[in-house]
Homo-oligomer: A and B are copies of this chain.
């Protein structure tokens, strides 16, 4: 039995709630929900909240207080997990206090695992005990794809991870899979056109520059690196910004998209150069465990036969090279979206449930 609190009831939090209710897993009981304004705590006997709880949250008159939430969870004899479905730095900063209160944490929020190393190390040391509390964050990299669990297993069983290389951003994947292909059928689309369509499809952040600047990929590189013992930080990682320099400072995303066509020729030329060599353009993240300084978020070319070259849609693909897998262990599939992100969170919750199962 595990008490579950969901902090942040946006797309992912709501989908998780739906998945939890659908499976009728009675060992994971949702007893608290919060969004940025309101909070809903189950009664003092920690009765599970019904599947209509999202509606009840909207009607709740309690203002959100994360310290009150933590105290409520810690007061139960039943172990509890806080699921942080925000992308907030402020919430991430609370993890140490939650862990000290014995609360486990499961989250797709990248901030704590890619930001300040001191916070990161504090979290790791507070979650280093066999009987909990536990921290799982599979969905911070590749959403529900089993990337971090596999890296963790490789490390714990004594394998040497040499390199982790991949297309970690669904947005970058969509843009370059469509822009740069060796398939000669059909007319070539302009770069600006593809970015505009990606935004219309909801594949980008509200301002597509927040994807194209490479910072999301850099965060995932830092997370994967730290997990295999390479203490990467955003400030020292090499991050290539795909946004043309003159457009980095324009104030609105509308202006950015309006002026992006001025740079279509630049991207078309890069594409043509690559095609001439039988290659395609891809935006990848790299953790190089042997030469950590070569790690980063990079705009590079791959030959047609490489698995990254034939990627489709907005899939992620991650290649892990180790002593035991010298030719690589590859994991590929949808790496963004509420359903697969919530799946990754749910799978992490099952780990916590299993680990406290005997209690």
- A interface, CB within 8 angstroms of B: 19, 22-23, 25, 27, 130-132, 144-146, 149-150, 153-154, 156-159, 305, 307, 310, 312-313, 315, 323-325, 327-334, 339-340, 343, 346-347, 350-351, 354-359
Q: How far is the CB of A193 from chain B (nearest CB, A)?
A: 23
- Known pairs A22-B158, A150-B146; A327 contacts B312 (CB<8 A): yes
Bound Cα distance A313, B330 (Å) = 14
Contact of B324 with A131 in the complex, beta carbons under 8 Å: no
Contact of A329 with B329 in the complex, beta carbons under 8 Å: no
Since A307-B307, A358-B358 are in contact, a sample of 12 more A-B pairs with Cβ atoms closer than 8 Å, ordered by chain A residue number, is A23-B157, A130-B357, A146-B146, A146-B150, A149-B149, A157-B343, A157-B346, A310-B310, A324-B340, A325-B340, A329-B333, A355-B357
Task: List, sorted by A's number, 28 A–B pairs whose CB atoms are closer than 8 Å.
Answer: A19-B157, A19-B158, A23-B157, A23-B158, A130-B354, A131-B358, A144-B324, A146-B146, A146-B153, A153-B346, A156-B347, A157-B347, A157-B350, A307-B332, A310-B310, A324-B339, A324-B343, A327-B334, A328-B332, A329-B331, A329-B332, A329-B333, A330-B332, A331-B332, A351-B354, A354-B355, A355-B357, A355-B358
